[in-house]
A and B are shown apart, each in its own frame.
Chain A
Amino acid sequence: KNQVEQSPQSLIILEGKNCTLQCNYTVSPFSNLRWYKQDTGRGPVSLTIMTFSENTKSNGRYTATLDADTKQSSLHITASQLSDSASYICVVSDRGSTLGRLYFGRGTQLTVWP
């Protein structure tokens, strides 16, 4: 069964600290993996995309990694800011059809305290 599991479910850190969010998936055949940020009461916004051949990709203070062998991805946030408080959702796309079906994790709820 294709699944996407995220950990931790929630996380509280102090402003300025770093943190790492995890995503494990069993989706096959794999096409790509995206991390989305969803602010409270808003729609998700794409942060990064990782394809099979990519190991690391950065977007400002966000760095995503992908290990296609172990089917794990992480999102590292450096020097956290209050505005980083949000839910971070891991989404994996398969290559099983032209549809490119998407599998969603439940998200990690990050809270940054001053």
Chain B
Amino acid sequence: EADIYQTPRYLVIGTGKKITLECSQTMGHDKMYWYQQDPGMELHLIHYSYGVNSTEKGDLSSESTVSRIRTEHFPLTLESARPSHTSQYLCASSGQSPGELFFGEGSRLTVL
């Protein structure tokens, strides 16, 4: 079982609030990712990191930001949430095996 954790699992907030989704892994993986997933749709990469102080935007444009100050920690922040940000956010990490991702349980965000 993968050792990657996300908090909170569920979050309901009002428009304009700032939120941070936490993601931590204990596997020592350098590569970490944030995906956005809507019902019936494929996962979309919104941010990734290859190591400390390295962050890049993914394929799907997102108003969120990320940071990678420690290897094990990869938080995602939304400065001002809007209803369009309502979605499931999945954090993942990968080791040496090509294409194998270890996912967290996800954070389901609802913005009212």
Do A104 and B42 have beta carbons less than 8 Å apart?
yes
State A46–B86 Cα separation when bound (angstroms): 26
**Assembled-state Cα–Cα distance A112/B108 (Å):** 25
Known: A43-B90, A104-B43. A49 touches B100 (CB 8 A): yes
Q: Please tell me if B34 contacts chain A, counting CB pairs below 8 Å.
A: no
A interface, by DSSP: helix, strand, loop or mixed?
A: strand
**Chain B contacts of A49 at CB under 8 A?**
97, 99-100
Contact with B along A77-98 (1 / 0, CB 8 A): 0000000000001010100000
Nearest to B106 among chain A residues (CB) is: A43
Closest Cβ–Cβ distance, residue B88 to chain A (whole Å): 9
Tell me if B74 counts as interface (CB < 8 A to partner A).
no
Of chain A, the residue at the smallest CB distance from B41 is A106
Contact size class for B? 10 to 19
Q: Using a Cβ–Cβ cut-off of 8 Å, how many residues does chain A contribute to the interface with B?
A: 22
CA A104 – CA B99 in complex, angstroms? Answer: 11
**Residue of A102, A106, A107 ringed by the most chain B CB atoms within 10 A:** A102
Q: Decide if A34 is an interface residue (CB 8 Å cutoff).
A: yes
Asked if A44 and B103 make an inter-chain contact with CB atoms under 8 angstroms apart, the answer reads: yes
- A32-75, CB < 8 A from B: 32, 34, 41-46, 49
Residues of B within 8 A of A106 (CB): 40-42
- Chain A residue numbers with a CB within 8 Å of B66 are none
Inside 8 A of A32's CB, which chain B residues have their CB?
Answer: 98-99
Q: List 9 A-B contacts (CB under 8 A).
A: A9-B40, A32-B99, A41-B106, A43-B4, A43-B104, A44-B101, A93-B99, A100-B99, A109-B40
Binding site for A on B (CB under 8 A): 2, 4, 40-43, 45, 90, 92, 97-101, 103-106, 108
- Beyond known contacts A9-B40, A49-B99: 10 more, CB 8 A cutoff: A43-B90, A43-B92, A43-B103, A44-B103, A45-B2, A45-B103, A93-B99, A102-B101, A106-B40, A106-B41
Residues of A within 8 A of B (CB): 4, 9, 31-32, 34, 41-46, 49, 89, 91, 93, 100, 102, 104-107, 109
